Structure 1
């Protein structure tokens, strides 16, 4: 595994994710139809709403269609910025949550000195977005998130519990590559990135009509340690 400041692929560039983006471009609003029950994600979003003052800046990293996270945050009076790898998802998010700001970008674009400077945030939500990265890139992504946060900022993370690294799986008629960790190792990876874990929970989830078996979803509520 590379260090958070070390090289990735081809001199520090992340692995090409064109295929990942295309898979979600093709899915469009079918994503919300296939994943209608997001109680764990909603509960983690509500934690952000309850612990942040009105007007706080929140980054929805891997915002998808903007539902339910960006909409819920915006309705609570928070300043919401969303980022997603899929142009189709960003277009849907702009329709669903017009009061928020959305960008078509990769998390690598948000690193210090990268092409997209969004400033600092009081909180970051990353619901099932880091699982789209190879394991070697996840510590780098966590470091980027830490650098985007103000001191003591909140971080809500969800991942699928699985001991896999960049494995292709069928997904809503297409294929994507995913990574995951056993829950104890996920905690270690997050803590190594200098986040304090406030609370951990999990939920078993079976997508409606999808071609994947039930999954165990892990939710971590964290704060940036200084």
Structure 2
């Protein structure tokens, strides 16, 4: 896949990730405790040999390594060649592919027992975020599990990243539930865990646990956002 074959969002993500890949590999491990715990929990629900897709796999650490250690058949996709090179070195037992999640190439991946994606969608505008979740739903077999992690963002606070300070789009737990339902996912839980951002700032991490909605289920029949979403 060439840059010209990627969507605009894929090209921009690749540009940024290639630029910060080395720095990311250095600093990210100190801030991934919440997603490690979520994957440990997920592994208790999956049989050995289950097919898993990590969308936006980055360096393969920690998620692809955890899934492989749990006996799963693991595929990681990313738009960054630099990230994928690191992933192939870090987790040789997984397969890693240069794929733009939002592009048509992703439809050829097949279906998986679980699709996970951690901190890859957080800067997408809402319509594109919903499209990404819909793609996860289409890549997940009936009865399978989608797990997505994002930081909770009120939308009015600048955030410091590896490439400078920026203003991220809003994403609250209510937003995440609504977007999942619009994407054709049945939400099981919005799990909330304390965490830190890539530069160490304290923040809440939201983890969507969902399943593809049964055929014929409309988003209008889904349960609206509730303030009773569990904090963990």
**TM-score under structure 1 length normalisation:** 0.81
Maintained 8 Å contact 1:160/1:180: no
Maintained 8 Å contact 1:23/1:174: no
Maintained 8 Å contact 2:107/2:139: no
Secondary structure at 2:31's aligned position in 1?
A: coil
**TM-score under structure 2 length normalisation:** 0.79
Deviations 1:95-131 (A, max 9, x none): 000010111221123x4xx366111111000111112
Cα distance in 2 between the residues matched to 1:116 and 1:62: 15
Give the structure, 1 or 2, with the largest relative contact order (CA under 8 Å, sep 6 or more).
Answer: 1
Aligned residue in 2 for 1:60 = 54
Query: Which has the larger displacement, 65-74 or 174-183?
Result: 174-183
Aligned residue pair count: 208
Cα distance in 2 between the residues matched to 1:149 and 1:78: 15
Maintained 8 Å contact 1:23/1:176: no
Maintained 8 Å contact 1:20/1:177: no
Between structures 1 and 2, the one with greater helix share: 2
Q: Quick check: 1:22 aligned with 2:12?
A: no
Q: Quick check: 1:70 aligned with 2:64?
A: yes
Superposition misfits of 4+ residues, deviation over 6 angstroms:
none
Q: Structure 1's 48 and 213: CA in aligned 2 closer, same or farther, altered over 3 A?
A: closer
Which consecutive residues of structure 2, in runs of 5 or more, have no partner in the other structure? 1-5, 215-232
Maintained 8 Å contact 1:65/1:89: yes
Aligned residue in 2 for 1:88 = 82
Which of residues 179, 188, 193 in structure 2 aligns to 1:203?
193
